[in-house]
Amino acid sequence: MTLEIVLFIVFASICAVSAVLMITRPNPVISALFLVLNFCSLAGLYLILNAQFIAVAQVIVYAGAIMVFFLFVIMLLNPETEKRFFEQKAKLRIFIIAIVSLILVQIVYMIFISNPSEVITKEVARSVETGTVENIGREMFTNYVLPFEAAGYLLLAATIGALVLAKKKFE
């Protein structure tokens, strides 16, 4: 067992367990904190995959900015705690879980039957080269400069839209 595999098992299990805990906790604040844990372990997985820039952006943007925003709104609205996961509409929930786990089994079956690891093998040197900030920045400001500008306009529009929607009155 190399260190890479040990780290993958640790981060992947944290990721899976925190996702399940997030959707089963009745209190939304605890759900949000489990989602932060999930995002942080995903950043660890990105580091194993040699995507340094995206790992840092994941922690700063997702676990930092977006989740703080969610927590602010939860504290602001103070929504009532839901009942425990299986107490209300238990039959419907079990039905939903059965259908969705059937879909999961299908996806996993398709992944293993197509056997991608036979055709795709990781070249470590090239993979490390790909994820550096230098490489991503060069691509972003040459080939992908138009989507980059569009993302800037999208964020501006979203800021103005959020201000207008959350204002007290439309006047």
Partner 1 sequence: MQIPIEYYLVLSAFMFTVGIVGVLTRRNAIVVFMCIELMLNSANLTLITYSSYLGDVAGQLFVFFVMSVAAAEAAVGLAIIIAIYRNKLTVNIDEINILKW
Q: 44-73: which residues touch partner 1 (CB under 8 A)? A: 45-46, 48-51, 53-54, 57-58, 61-62, 65-66, 69-70, 73
Confirm if 27 and 81 have CB atoms less than 8 A apart: yes
Size of the residue set binding partner 1 (CB under 8 A): 83
Go through the chain and tell me how many residues it has.
171
- Residues numbered 62-121 forming contacts with partner 1, rule: CB under 8 A: 62, 65-66, 69-70, 73-74, 76-77, 79-80, 82, 85, 92-93, 96-97, 100-101, 103-104, 107-108, 111-112, 116-117, 120-121
Nearest distance from C-beta of residue 112 to partner 1, angstroms: 6
Strand, helix or coil at 63? Answer: helix
Confirm if 15 and 41 have CB atoms less than 8 A apart: yes
**DSSP state, 1?**
-
Nearest distance from C-beta of residue 144 to partner 1, angstroms: 5
Q: Does 33 bind partner 1 (CB under 8 A)?
A: no
**Helix (H) and strand (E) counts in the chain:** 9, 0
